[in-house]
Amino acid sequence: MITALLSDGYIWSIIRVSLYVSLTAIALSAVLSLPIALIVGVTEFRGKRLLNAVITTGMGFPSVVVGLLVLFAVSNQGPLGPLNLVFTPEAMILSQIVLAAPVITGISLSAIDSVDGGIRDAAYAMGGTRLDVAVVTIKEAKYGIATGILAGFGRAISEVGSVLIVGGNIVSDGSSYTRTLTTAIQLEARQGQFETALVLGAVLLVLVLSVNAIVIRLGSGGGRSR
């Protein structure tokens, strides 16, 4: 059954779309989140706690609500309407960024927060520029940051509510356009095709596991060489 499914181009197209959407979303989220986490983490200012609370709330934001808000934004009636994003993979990337960015920001922030202030002071004392200090801080917090990115990836690729709404679960000419593993599982389960749904679920699990393994491998390898 599994080999029959995997020999089918349709399944591969779904895996491709899932990975494309979630990996792109995570890359963009990381680019967006890490500077914020770094700045918030190393500076003290009024309202920092409130900002922390906002970010933490964002980590638990319900994906269907995000889907609805993004749908309003990208619909032809919405502010991003002229970009023609509705029911495209790019709209799904957008909604996954909204979902994953707070997770990455939040977890990285607490990792950066917990880097010993003495290390930063030492870097300054040794004549480091602000950039040097930032690099040192990120190096110290790298496991926390990697955890944040992985958690964000897990949230993005396993989420079904928002991609279903903004992507539309479209298959065109026999291959996936906006159908991801999760929306495919939802469709198969709705139609009572539980075996197929379970196989797709297993594929999803394997994907998440492998990405985690790769990142952990990279992390520990990097640790030894330094």
Partner 1 sequence: MRTQRRSVLRSIGAGMLALTAGCTQTALQTGSTGRKSTEPNTPTDGTIRIATTTSTYDSGIVDALSRAFTDNTGISVQAIAQGTGAALATGRAGDCDVVFVHAPSLEAAFVADGYGIDRCVPMMNDFVIVGPESDPADIGSQRSVSAAFSKIATSETEFISRGDNSGTHIKELELWEHAAIAPSGGWYLEAGQGMGNVLMMAAQRGAYTLTDRGTYLSMGANAPPSLLLSGPVEDGDRSLANPYGAMAVNPDRHEHVRYNFATQYLDFLMSEVGQTLIETYRVNDEPLFVPLADDETGYGSIDE
Beta bridge partners of 176: 171
Measured between alpha carbons, how far is 76 from 173 in angstroms, rounded to an integer?
24
Judged by CB under 8 A, the residue of 21, 66, 73, 86 near partner 1 is 86
Shortest Å distance, C-beta 90 to partner 1: 14
Nearer CB in complex with partner 1: 143/194: 194
Shortest Å distance, C-beta 172 to partner 1: 5
Asked whether position 68 contacts partner 1 by CB under 8 A, the answer is no
Judged by CB under 8 A, the residue of 2, 57, 60, 76 near partner 1 is 76
Label residues 155-167 b or e (16+ Cβ within 10 Å = b). bbbbbbbbbbbbb
Judged by CB under 8 A, the residue of 3, 7, 77, 225 near partner 1 is 77
Shortest Å distance, C-beta 199 to partner 1: 17
Judged by CB under 8 A, the residue of 33, 137, 169, 196 near partner 1 is 169
Measured between alpha carbons, how far is 93 from 122 in angstroms, rounded to an integer?
40
Shortest Å distance, C-beta 139 to partner 1: 46
Shortest Å distance, C-beta 204 to partner 1: 21
Asked whether position 170 contacts partner 1 by CB under 8 A, the answer is yes
Under a CB-based contact definition with an 8 Å cutoff, are residues 156 and 26 in contact? Answer: yes
Count CB-CB contacts under 10 A for residue 64.
14
Asked whether position 198 contacts partner 1 by CB under 8 A, the answer is no
What DSSP string describes 31-78?
HHHHHHHHHHHH---TTHHHHHHHHHHHHT--HHHHHHHHHHHHSTTS
Q: How far is CA 147 from CA 29, 154, 216, in A?
A: 14, 10, 9
Asked whether position 147 contacts partner 1 by CB under 8 A, the answer is no
Shortest Å distance, C-beta 151 to partner 1: 30
Measured between alpha carbons, how far is 31 from 174 in angstroms, rounded to an integer?
34
Degrees (nearest 5) of the Cα angle 27, 136, 211? 30
Measured between alpha carbons, how far is 205 from 207 in angstroms, rounded to an integer?
5
Judged by CB under 8 A, the residue of 45, 173, 221, 224 near partner 1 is 173
Judged by CB under 8 A, the residue of 3, 192, 224, 226 near partner 1 is 192
> Is residue 194 exposed (0-12), middle (13-18) or buried (19+ Cβ within 10 Å)?
exposed
Shortest Å distance, C-beta 193 to partner 1: 9
Judged by CB under 8 A, the residue of 191, 202, 214, 222 near partner 1 is 191
Residue numbers of the site for partner 1 (CB under 8 A)? 75-77, 84, 86-87, 168-173, 177, 187, 190-192
